[in-house]
Amino acid sequence: MKMKKKIILILALVFLLSLTACKSSDDKPFDYNEATLAYMTIDIINTYKDVDGDAVEYYLNEGTELESSAVKGFQQIQTTDNVGKFISVDEDFDDAKFEVGSNDDILCTVRCKYEDRDVDVRVSYVKNLEYYKQREELIDYYEKALQSQYGMTLEDAVKEDGMYASVDEFIDSLMLQQGVYPYKAVQAEVSAVYSKSELLSKAGQNTAIGMVTVFCVLIFISFIISLLKFVPMIFDPSKKDKKAAAEALKEAKPEVKKEEVKASPAPAASESEDLVNDEELVAVITAALYAAFEDTKIPNAVSKDTLIVRSIRKVR
């Protein structure tokens, strides 16, 4: 029994994985007509390609996402890519490219010809829910009107007319005539077309500029670090004066050769020379005398408070 449950669980997992693997990026988020999308894209190109003056500022600041992205793209290809004057747009719907976007949208790309370089315009479309709402209202309106006036249904009227194959085709035609489409354009991307050699050349230039920038920054950082040794002198000017004085003393002090020092030994002190001016020697001898007279039991001892060293002479 347990083995049977395990087998069922494994088969269920395999089935789920197979469903995931079967899902392709080409799955359409909604049904669409390629000719309609291409027509809508061409209409967007003709609407925003020649916008200038105050209209540019209005679309960029107050327009919808579609309007601002389209106007910004057409302005950028002129200032950055220098594509030249507009010549024509490819109105052959078969040449338009379609792909599924990452946000459940359809991307339609149409190529335009400019004087110096071709330009691709890619427009993102999503399902227009408002279209289907208006479509139901329109069907309901015609059903009631035909029923009240002629006592027939909309389907019978379409068949009798013979111009349309179905009610859906008739209603879609009316909606398109009113400028209402089952898809809604939400964003546009305008980009100049570059060859592979141009892209490689541009990538090399960007790499070179990046490396030069990095080296310049490193050199600048090294220069800043070398200046850090002067920071203490800025906050403590006395150190600067001490250093200058030490350097001046070093320059002014005569250099004595070792041979001269060995050849001329220091003269011996004369026997009668008084060493009382040597303060360190006086301090040492006075301390020794204090220690010697510390024992007050010695007869005829001189008090250390009245002890004064007046003369120190070297004896043989």
Instruction: Give me the pLDDT at residue 296, please.
Output: 53
Pairing type for strands 118-127 and 183-192 reads: antiparallel
Instruction: Give me the pLDDT at residue 271, please.
Output: 47
Domain end (from 193, 227, 253): 193
Please check whether residues 45 and 58 belong to one and the same domain. Answer: yes
Which whole-number Å values give the CA distances from 65 to 36, 87, 188, 197, 287, in the listed order? 21, 26, 8, 33, 98
pLDDT < 50: residue spans in the chain: 20-25, 256, 258, 260-264, 266-272
What tens digit of pLDDT does each residue of 282-295 get?
Answer: 777 777 777 766 65
Question: Does the residue 60 lie in any domain?
Answer: yes
Amino acid at 303: S
Task: Give how many domains the chain has, as a whole number.
Answer: 3
What pTM did the predictor assign? 0.55
Instruction: Give me the pLDDT at residue 90, please.
Output: 82
Nearest-10 Cα torsion for 208, 209, 213, 216:
60
Cα 138–Cα 141–Cα 142 angle in degrees, nearest 5:
90
Instruction: Give me the pLDDT at residue 304, please.
Output: 57
Please check whether residues 89 and 30 belong to one and the same domain. Answer: yes
68 lies in which domain range?
26-193
What tens digit of pLDDT does each residue of 75-127 get?
Answer: 999 999 999 999 999 887 788 999 999 888 999 999 999 999 999 999 999 99
Please check whether residues 166 and 207 belong to one and the same domain. Answer: no
